[in-house]
Amino acid sequence: MFSKILVANRGEIAVRIMRTAREMGIATVAVYSDVDADSPHVIASDEAVFLGEADPSACYLNVEKIVAAAKHTGAEAIHPGYGFLAENPVFAKAVSDEGLVFIGPPAEVMEDLGNKTVARRIMAEGKVPIIPGMISCEADVDRLCSAADEIGYPVVVKAAAGGGGKGMRIVEARKDMAEAVELARSEALTAFGDPTIYLEKCLDRPRHVEFQILADTRGNVIHVFERECSIQRRHQKIIEETPSPALDEDLRERMGAAAVAAARAAGYVNAGTVEFLLDGSGKFYFLEVNTRLQVEHPITEMITGLDLVRSQIEIAAGQPLRFSRQDLTRRGHAIECRIYAEDPEADFMPSPGKILFMRSPEGPGVRFDHGIQTGYHVPVNYDPILGKLVVWAEDRPAAIERMIRSLRECVILGVKTPIEFLIEVLSSEEFKSGNTHTCFIRDNCAAWKPDRGEDALAAMGFVAHEMAAPSFGTSTDESSTKSGPSSPWQTLGAWDLAR
Amino acid sequence: MEVIESQIDTAGDEYRANYERMQELVEDLKAQLKKARQERSEKAVKRNQELGKLTVQERLDRLLDRNTPWLEIAPLAAKGMYDGKVHGAGTRAGIGVVKGREVLVHANDPMIKGGTVYPMGVKKTLRCQTISMENNLPMLMLVDSGGAYLPLQSEIFPDSDDGGRIFYNQAIMSKMNIPQITAVLGLCTAGGAYIPAMSDHVVHVTGTGAIFLGGPPLVRAATGEEVTAEDLGGAMVHCRESGVSDYFAEDDAHAMQLVRDITALLPTVEKSRVPTRAAKPPLYDPKEIWGVVPKAISTPYDVREILARIADGSEFLEFKALYGPTLVCGWTYVHGHQIGILGNNGVLFSDSSLKATQFISLCDRQGIPLVFLQNINGYIIGREYERGGITKDGHKMVHAVSTATVPKFTVIIGASFGAGNYGMCGRGYSPRFLWMWPNAQIGVMGGEQAADVLVSVKNDQLARAGQPPLPSEMVDNIRKPIIQSAFNEGNAYYSTANLWDDGILDPASTRDVLGLAVSASLNASLEDRNQGHGTFRM
């Protein structure tokens, strides 16, 4: 087992990985940029290496600097977290070239699966159902149009190197193709450095259901149940749950088997996620493989009791899986809400700034993985995720109520957050009935505005009044000898006429 | 208690204009205060450093408890007098906290004219002693003075309220059991030598502190003897041989520590109990007073708007709200202390005078401190009112104010003209403290009225001599200088320079000042007051 690992990430996920490392007796190295010098992930580490300026290319995306930091500190392995370099095969290769261990799949697997058209081809060959569409890239609008005619509108323009909803455009009709392609290509170029795109059929209100995969170096591949991540905004998940309300045991078996087959087809090693779209008739299609730890991995941990990061590290260290598929049981229901610094009233645009006050939700079945603190400045430079609130309860209704309760306990002031919005979604009859799909927010919450009733206004007025009240100076020990009633001589502090 | 609901439109043009004007006055005030504290000649600064002495501010910083209020008294006394550089009449004085104990501190500033005492300096020292006596505050004196400023000795020495009175008061204060602690941080010459001598505790700094009845120059002149100040009256002489001083201090800082230690040993004083409750801030920002006070002193406004920005929680229980409405009376709390407050909403009539008399009498019987907010042009005049007995009703109010023995506090927030000044507890009526706002004016009457009176008197004289009244250009020639001098001698700075008040306040700080002053006043017992009054003319 490693004695020291470097975590090439920041924020809540870096903190989360370091926690497991600490439990395993592994020392941790953090890396940071100048805006993150006092971030919780730096504080959580055993040692920290400064990378450079805030711009991601100078720090968390800088392969050379990160590998050098690992060499310098004597770290034996690098955990990439999610985002940044997590799915970058060049990085994975650079790490192994330096004789270090990359905690994730091999670079070539990553490269294959990272290209969506290649991945689709592999899956098709492995008899995994794929979404009708192209299995190669195309830049010519006319040819794209004729492909779309074949697939049938609406279609989705997707970046081959894509992920996280970037470089994705839905095209309803032929006339919109040129513009969508243009936008998707430029977005893909900015986000992934690769403008290539392809087309897929756009399914009507599908669910997003994904399977957690664990594969060791000995050829053992298992799935650790599903996660449903249908509630999305801007093509990004914000509420995830497991088990999916749409799966029965039979479907779960079939999809799980497909996921394992997909992993085997790709020669997958370490933790990964096979994503499917599931339509209303119970048909499912391969979407993509995420070759990393998912943001929403904690809900799987909650229902199985596993520590997926521990599994990742053990697999990377060459150890076999410590359990088989049959050993795994799941219990209860888990939900995760992502809490970003973003404005749900303004199309979820990022809302960076200083966190003036925060209070974590607590209590039974609550897990809050976050990387913030009161006084923390949410930088503009990175993904504005603040934390992930995860709850577990015995069944779905109880988990929903627990999540609502926890969200109400969660206070983050100073930046905008979707907390109120999340409560609204969770409280809706549609969500409670399990009728979730990837267009849920568009269909049900498009015109959402926070309820600014008079009660809330009155409460805010009261708080503002209390906060605006003149603050009394602190009395020193020397002046605290009181005789008689409280006196401004003891409460006014360093008061002076001339001030 | 009811909450005062402000009618002020803080978004309006009038408010903004008022605010900007008061802001200007307050900024000027702060600049003047800063100048008085800091403007010292380079020579004096250098000399002080060479002697290894601390500045007055440094002495105060070491003496007073950290992070506690400092209520300075008459910081602009003597402003504009002499050569304009005798800031604060050459001294710094105020109420502060030492070892948790409220004390009155009086410090000579050796960097102003070598700490020599000017006539206004004597007046300020006497005022401090009065405050100390009335409020039972220990008096800490930081002495560093070259003695009387000889060119003005005739204004300093002979009269009843001149230099000698200081030592008389020290003896009386000692008899009243008010602790007096003196730190000798420089010269205490001649009369000045009695300041330590008449104190209970004397701390003496070696090397710089000296006490003698005649200094080396006088000794040389009188006897031809050559002697140094240290040899004549230094710490070693007085702590070891003469017994004039009690505590030997190595330097200023050590002396301040010793004064603190001595203060800590003083018997504790149980403050007089007045009705109290937990303090809370007003609902309206006190700073809004800036926008409430009209630019012209003659423009009437509702004094309740001021109360709303002074009183705890802006709460006010009004007494006789519907009777005598030109005077607002009622109860409130300031910094948790109950007070009875009187504020003018116009000239005083018979009914408002009677209301005031009853209210003052009530507060006095109940032991509730009185606060007067003066904005008064006087009592109503005219045939009807004279026949209605305004003079005897005004008398009742003046009588009640005079004989009330509860602590009284006066803030002149606007006009203070004529007998209104008396009825509303002007300086002559022994309020424990009296302050002015920078916009305030004081005088027998307003400049315009005085000018009118003089013109009309002149015309009467001319009429009696059978001559025509004054032509209009002559009228202007008479009026202008009268109005000008009324302003020059009636503005807040003229008043404070002459120690007619204890200082000029930023109106926004009125609440804090009142809280501090009421609290400090309670160091004196309310129990053994000589309550009652004389005969009221009915």
Distance CA B170, CA B164 (A): 10
ipTM exceeding cut-off 0.85 for this assembly:
no
pLDDT tens string A63-95? 999 999 999 999 999 999 999 999 999 999 999
Question: What is the CA angle B79-B83-B88, rounded to 5?
Answer: 30
A132 vs B71, more confident:
B71
Record the tokens describing residue A223, joined without a space.
């799935």
Using a CB–CB cutoff of 8 Å, tell me whether B272 touches chain A: yes
Residue A243: is the preceding peptide bond cis (ω within 30°)?
Answer: yes
Task: Looking at mean pLDDT, say which of A149-158, A370-379, B247-256 comes out highest.
Answer: B247-256
Q: Which residue of chain A is at minimal alpha-carbon distance from B515?
A: A488
Using a CB–CB cutoff of 8 Å, tell me whether B30 touches chain A: yes
Check CB contact under 8 Å for B68 and A470: no
| CA A145 and chain centroid, separation | 34
* pLDDT over threshold 60, residue A485: no
* CA A207 vs CA A170, A233, A330, B2: distances in Å: 16, 14, 21, 61
Using a CB–CB cutoff of 8 Å, tell me whether B514 touches chain A: no
**Residues in A touching B66 (Cβ below 8 Å):** 476, 478, 494
Q: Which of B30, B101, B520 sits opposite A498 (nearest CB)?
A: B30
Q: Which of A473, A483, A491 sits opposite B279 (nearest CB)?
A: A491
Distance CA A115, CA A88 (A): 11
**Residues in B touching A464 (Cβ below 8 Å):** none
Helix (H) or strand (E) holding B338: strand B337-344
Check CB contact under 8 Å for A488 and B271: no
Q: Which of B270, B506, B515 sits opposite A483 (nearest CB)?
A: B270
pLDDT tens string B420-436? 999 999 999 999 999 99
**Residues in A touching B37 (Cβ below 8 Å):** 498
Q: Which residue of chain B is at minimal alpha-carbon distance from A482?
A: B100
* pLDDT over threshold 60, residue A476: no
B-interface mutation test, from A481, A492, A497, most B Cβ less than 10 A away: A497
B-interface mutation test, from A472, A478, A499, most B Cβ less than 10 A away: A478
Does this model's pTM top 0.80?
no
pLDDT tens string A232-289? 988 889 999 999 999 999 999 999 999 999 999 999 999 999 999 999 888 999 999 9
Which residue(s) pair with A123 in the sheet? none
Quick check: helix, strand or coil at residue A81?
A: coil
Which residue(s) pair with B442 in the sheet? B416
Residues of A designated catalytic: 292
Using a CB–CB cutoff of 8 Å, tell me whether B69 touches chain A: yes
State the count of interchain CB pairs (< 8 A) between A and B: 107
A-interface mutation test, from B26, B61, B335, most A Cβ less than 10 A away: B335
**Residues in B touching A499 (Cβ below 8 Å):** 30
Q: Which CATH superfamily hosts domain A132-201?
A: ATP-grasp fold, A domain (3.30.1490.20)
- Every domain of chain A with CATH number 3.30.1490.20 lies at 132-201
Q: List the one residue out of B60, B59, B97, B269 whose CA is nearest residue A477.
A: B97
Check CB contact under 8 Å for B65 and A478: yes
* pLDDT over threshold 90, residue A342: yes
Q: Which of B75, B278, B336 sits opposite A497 (nearest CB)?
A: B75
So what's the pLDDT on residue B422?
A: 96
Which region among A16-30, A188-202, A217-231 has the lowest average model confidence (pLDDT)? A188-202
| CA A213 and chain centroid, separation | 17
So what's the pLDDT on residue A468?
A: 67
- Every domain of chain A with CATH number 3.40.50.20 lies at 4-103
What sign does the CA torsion over A251, A252, A257, A260 have?
positive
**Residues in B touching A465 (Cβ below 8 Å):** 283
Across residues A134-141, what is the average pLDDT? 84
**Residues in A touching B97 (Cβ below 8 Å):** 478-479, 489
From B282's Cα to the closest Cα of chain A, the distance in A is: 8
Record the tokens describing residue A370, joined without a space.
């976050």
- Every domain of chain A with CATH number 3.30.470.20 lies at 207-444
Record the tokens describing residue B4, joined without a space.
């005062």
pLDDT tens, per residue, chain B with 538 residues: 899 999 999 999 999 999 999 999 999 999 999 999 999 999 999 999 999 999 999 999 999 998 899 999 999 999 999 999 999 999 999 999 999 999 999 999 999 998 999 999 999 999 999 999 999 999 999 999 988 888 898 888 889 999 999 999 999 999 999 999 999 999 998 878 999 999 999 999 999 999 998 889 889 999 999 999 999 999 999 999 999 999 999 999 999 999 999 999 998 888 888 888 889 999 999 999 999 999 999 899 999 999 999 999 999 999 999 999 999 999 999 999 999 999 999 999 999 999 999 999 999 999 999 999 999 999 999 999 999 999 999 999 999 999 999 999 999 999 999 999 999 999 999 999 999 999 999 998 888 888 989 999 999 999 999 999 888 888 988 899 999 988 889 999 999 999 999 999 999 999 999 999 999 999 999 877 888 889 999 8
What residues of chain A have any CB closer than 8 angstroms to a CB in chain B? 465, 469-470, 473-476, 478-499
CA dihedral B133, B134, B135, B139 (to 10 degrees): -20
A-interface mutation test, from B63, B65, B496, B504, most A Cβ less than 10 A away: B65
So what's the pLDDT on residue A478?
A: 39
Check CB contact under 8 Å for A481 and B100: yes
So what's the pLDDT on residue A469?
A: 58
Using a CB–CB cutoff of 8 Å, tell me whether B68 touches chain A: yes
Which residue(s) pair with A358 in the sheet? A412
Q: List the one residue out of B131, B73, B84 whose CA is nearest residue B504.
A: B73
Check CB contact under 8 Å for A469 and B72: no
Which residue(s) pair with A240 in the sheet? A336
So what's the pLDDT on residue A470?
A: 52
* CA A260 vs CA A263, A304, A325: distances in Å: 5, 18, 11
Which residue(s) pair with A349 in the sheet? A343
Q: Which CATH superfamily hosts domain A207-444?
A: ATP-grasp fold, B domain (3.30.470.20)
Distance CA A484, CA A482 (A): 6
Residue A485: is the preceding peptide bond cis (ω within 30°)?
Answer: no
Across residues A38-54, what is the average pLDDT? 95
Are the beta carbons of A323 and A111 closer than 8 angstroms? no
Q: Which of B71, B268, B515 sits opposite A483 (nearest CB)?
A: B268
Question: What is the CA angle A418-A308-A287, rounded to 5?
Answer: 65
E strands, A307-423, in order: 333-340, 342-343, 349-350, 353-354, 357-359, 366-370, 377-378, 385-393, 411-413
Mean pLDDT over the full length of chain B: 94
Query: What is A4-103's CATH number, 1.10.10.10, 3.40.50.20, 2.70.98.30, 3.40.50.800?
Result: 3.40.50.20
